[in-house]
Amino acid sequence: MEDTTWFLTGDITSKDEDGYLFFGGRDDDVINSSGYRIGPMEVENALMEHQAVQECAAVASPDGTRGEVVKAFIILKPGHAPSDALAKELQTFTKALTAPYKYPRRIAFVDGLPKTATGKIQRRLLKQQEFEGQDA
């Protein structure tokens, strides 16, 4: 009999009725807001559909009422300027493409995102930034 070894990766996956596996994100990236579990990739994918968004990352941000809320860090394409009106437009846009509770309640327009040497966005650093100084 062959030995089996399991590695707990922290990845969230799902399997459809045909047996195909789908990657949903990392368990430590999941945002818990008012009892809802929100995967950052779905929020990011919706935001990336907007004409003004060049790149983005979604992370948990502490909230006294909901526990956590979605915060999006957004790099805009050239020709687009940060504004409260654009932030509201992005929120409305995301609500239309995802479940309404998944939209980013907070938006930060940034010039860059922390990345690994291979170019992967380091959400954990953004989340850590959000939670610094918060009581656990």
pLDDT in tens, 114-129: 999 999 999 999 999 9
> Which pTM value belongs to this model?
0.79
Domain boundaries, the chain: 19-131
pLDDT in tens, 63-94: 999 999 999 999 999 999 999 999 999 999 99
For 35-68, b where at least 16 C-beta lie within 10 A, e where not — what string? eeebbbbbbbebbeebebbebbbbbbbbeeebeb
Give the CATH fold of the 19-131 domain.
Answer: GMP Synthetase; Chain A, domain 3 (3.30.300)
Question: Coil, strand, or helix at residue 2?
Answer: coil
Q: What pLDDT sits at residue 136? A: 43
